[in-house]
Amino acid sequence: MKQEKLEWLADNPFYTKRFAFFVGRRCRAMTIQDVATETHLDWHTIKELEKQYMREQLRRIGTPAPKVIGIDEISIRKGHTYRIVVSDLERRRPIWFGGTDRSEESMDLFYRDLGPMKAKKIRLAVMDMWKAFEKSAKKNVPEAAILYDKFHVMRHLGEAMDTVRKKEYGRLQGKDRSFIKGQKYTLLSHKKNLDLSGRQSLRKLLKANKRLNTAYLLKETFGQLWSYETEGWARRFFDNWKASLKWQRLKPYEEFADMIERHWEGIAAYCKSENKIALGFVEGLNNKIRVIQRRAYGLRDEDYLRLKILTCMLKEI
């Protein structure tokens, strides 16, 4: 007996491809359970139809051949369980999800899957200051420039700012201490992003505590580093910024400055005109992935998560 394959049937022969694509489009904005309730179908059926939709999206987009990549890790469950996400920053979409952790060996898998011919076309790799990613890039794409992501650098500075806040809170007593309590995110946020109440609290805090005032001003001005067109001017700005730490007794900031010094080449790479790319994409993608993870809370199907991440920036079909 010969079984005939009909092009218009989905992988599940009870449904057409058109219906599978309808389900896939609905699942882009809704949970599996919501779509199952709407269509009066089983949860597992909806999930499999959505996976077929996402695989078709990837098939139509073709194999990636990136020239500028962004590398980041995401936590997929508690217990330091990580996977690596690589994005094509020019086409603004994730192109690879994999590895078993965030080690050099896991990062090597991306370059192996990409193949030596396509890997040679990579001219720039944007990453955080995680040594394993850098070592893998230098080994697999030695001709590519390495650029450290601004948002990860600023996150380290934010951590230094919060350490100063904690030390001041522990040092002070009474009313002086009350100004600091509960102001972590006020200090870590940009002033322009605060509402009226937040700006008023910030003004009172900075007026009451000289050391936090200095730390906050240093944090706010450091972002200027990425505005320079030449490495020479960027270096002059950083040297002046670092010199201003003298006598301020801000040990976390001194440690941050030493870290920048050690990674200067990867930060100064942004000054070159060919490396002026939108660095906010990876951070925006991370936010989108967190939304996907919350919506799929408790789901243990890693292949489903991979498909969701790889198709989250693709157009509907």
**pLDDT 10s digits, 134-172:** 999 999 999 999 999 888 999 999 999 999 888 877 776
**pLDDT 10s digits, 173-217:** 766 666 677 777 878 787 787 788 888 877 887 887 888 889 989
- Provide the pLDDT for residue 210: 86
- Provide the pLDDT for residue 122: 95
Residues 293 and 305 sit within 8 Å (Cβ to Cβ): yes
Residue 297 has pLDDT above 70, yes or no: no
Q: What is the mean pLDDT of residues 287-295?
A: 83
Phi, psi (degrees; rounded to nearest 5) at 108: -60, -30
- Provide the pLDDT for residue 228: 92
| pLDDT class of 289 with cuts at 50, 70, 90 | confident
Closest CA to 83 of 92, 91, 93, 71: 71
- Provide the pLDDT for residue 295: 76
**pLDDT 10s digits, 21-63:** 999 999 998 889 999 999 999 999 999 999 999 999 999 999 8
Q: What is the dihedral of CA 11, 13, 17, 23, to 10 degrees?
A: -80
Residue 66 has pLDDT above 90, yes or no: yes
Output the pTM of the full model.
Answer: 0.84
- Provide the pLDDT for residue 245: 92
Residue 79 has pLDDT above 70, yes or no: no
Q: In sequence order, which residues have a C-beta less than 8 Å from that of residue 23 and are 6 or more positions away?
A: 35, 39, 46, 49, 50, 53
Q: What is the mean pLDDT of residues 1-13?
A: 58
- Provide the pLDDT for residue 242: 95
Query: What integer best gives the mean pLDDT of the chain?
Result: 88
How far is residue 244's CA from residue 214's CA, in Å, rounded to a whole number?
Answer: 10
